[in-house]
Amino acid sequence: MNLEREEILRRFEVWLDGVLAAEEAPQGITAELLSSLATETGVSANGRCDLYSIWAAITALTQEIKLQGRSFKQLSETLAPLADLAPQLPEMQREAQERARREMLDVLLELRDRLGRGLEAARVSQAKMRESLESGWAARLLARHKALRQAFEAVAALREGYTLSLDRLDEVLAQFDVREIVCQGEPFDAGSMHAVDVEETEQAAEGTVVEVYRAGYEWRGEVYRPAQVKVARKPPTTSAGDHKNE
């Protein structure tokens, strides 16, 4: 504690010496008088200051306090908006976390879509290869060829790889409470599905989803991304009255 006090006094003394040394000579006083004052001013032998030195020090101190007060006021005005934000900080933090989660979820779902498309392409390729290899005697003969067998096995391995990756990704999504919206064969629901295509058919009931173009997902029990689907609709019926009008 004493050390701090001594340090404060020392710094104050250094500052005061600097201020007094840089002070300009009073205006309107002759050089002779100034030189006589200079010999008389300052600390005397008994350690006391003269009146002029005390007055100069007090003036400098007053000016410094004024400057410090102005700086403090400016600082308070600058920080005021930040103080107003304080009550909103928890809400802003929650919103930032939510936004970060959504961005991560978008990436995961995009990844899942792409893996799904890759799996479907591998499945179709495998089916076509199998079909062509089993279609005739020449093809069966070719099937014995080593290169063809290897290609078939490569597609099968690719398909298995996609399946494993998708399974793992689905586990991660389940941990985040994300699940795919089941659409195929279900009645159209505008809340969770987006009708991007319509098929006029008698094969399915009106308003039934006949194809899913892009999977939809629920997060925490609410629709996060609606599915893009094709929906069945009854073909328009032409009545006798319509022909009459034509």
Partner 1 sequence: MNDLVAGIDLGTTYSEIAAFVKDRVQVLGPETNKMLASCVGFSPTGELLVGDTARHQQLLYPELTVRSIKRKMGSAEVVKLGTRRLRPRKSQRSSFASWWNGRDAT
What does the binding site for partner 1 look like in residue numbers (CB under 8 A)?
A: 88, 98-99, 102, 188, 190-191, 193-198, 207, 226, 231, 233
Task: Name which of 77 and 91 has its Cβ closer to partner 1.
Answer: 91
| Least spacing, CB of residue 239 vs partner 1, in Å | 18
109 versus 226: smaller Cβ distance to partner 1: 226
Least separation in angstroms between CB 190 and partner 1:
4
Q: How far apart are the first and last CA of the chain?
A: 106
b or e along 128-150 (b: 16 or more beta carbons within 10 Å of the residue's beta carbon)?
Answer: ebeeebeeeeeeeeeeeeeeeee
Identity of the residue, 79 or 196, whose beta carbon is nearer to partner 1 in the bound complex: 196
Sign of CA dihedral 53, 55, 58, 63: negative
Q: Which is nearer to partner 1, 161 or 207 (CB)?
A: 207
CB 196 within 8 A of CB 213: yes
How far apart CA 6 and CA 11 sit, in angstroms, is 9
CB of residue 76 to partner 1, shortest distance in Å: 21
CB of 99 to partner 1, least distance (A): 7
Residue 63: alpha-carbon gap to chain centroid = 49
Q: How far apart are CA 200 and CA 39, in angstroms?
A: 112
**Is the CB of 40 or the CB of 197 nearer to partner 1?**
197
Query: CB of residue 148 vs partner 1: minimum separation in angstroms?
Result: 45
